[in-house]
Amino acid sequence: GEDVEQSLFLSVREGDSSVINCTYTDSSSTYLYWYKQEPGAGLQLLTYIFSNMDMKQDQRLTVLLNKKDKHLSLRIADTQTGDSAIYFCAESIGALTFGSGTRLQVQP
Amino acid sequence: DTGVSQDPRHKITKRGQNVTFRCDPISEHNRLYWYRQTLGQGPEFLTYFQNEAQLEKSRLLSDRFSAERPKGSFSTLEIQRTEQGDSAMYLCASSLEGGSYEQYFGPGTRLTVT
Contact (CB, 8 A) for B106 and B4: yes
DSSP calls for B55-68:
EEE-TT--TTEEEE
* Three-state DSSP state, A83: helix
Question: Mean pLDDT of all residues in chain B?
Answer: 94
Give, in order, the Cα–Cα distances in Å from A107 to each of A17, A38, A102, A104, B81. Answer: 12, 16, 16, 10, 45
Q: Which residues contact A92 (CB under 8 A, 6 or more apart)?
A: A29, A30, A31, A32, A33, B101, B103
Closest residue of B to A30, CA-based?
A: B100
8 Å CB contact between B108 and B8: no
pLDDT in tens, B27-72: 989 999 999 999 989 999 999 999 999 999 998 788 999 999 998 8
Residue of B nearest to A41 (CA): B107
Whole-number Å distance between alpha carbons of B36 and B77: 11
- The span from the CA of B76 to the CA of A64, in Å, is 37
Rounded distance between C-alpha atoms, residue A93 and residue B100, angstroms: 11
The DSSP bridge partners found for residue B12 are B112
Top-confidence residue, B12 or A51? B12
Residue of A nearest to B43 (CA): A98
Q: What percent of chain B has pLDDT over 70?
A: 99
pLDDT digits (tens, 9 = 90+) for A60-101: 999 999 999 999 999 999 999 999 999 999 998 778 999 999
The half-sphere exposure of A60 on its side-chain side, counting CA atoms within 13 A, is: 12
Flag whether residue B97 sits within 8 Å of chain A, measured between CB atoms.
Answer: no
How many CA atoms does the CB half-sphere of B56 hold within 13 Å?
13
Query: Which amino acid belongs to residue A16?
Result: D
Cβ of B105 within 8 Å of Cβ of A42? The answer is yes
Interface check B74 vs A, CB under 8 A:
no
The rounded distance, in Å, linking the Cα atoms of B34 and B17 is 21
- The percent of residues in chain B predicted with pLDDT above 90, rounded, is 84
3-state secondary structure of A81: helix
Q: CA-CA distance, B109 to A55, in Å (whole number)?
A: 35
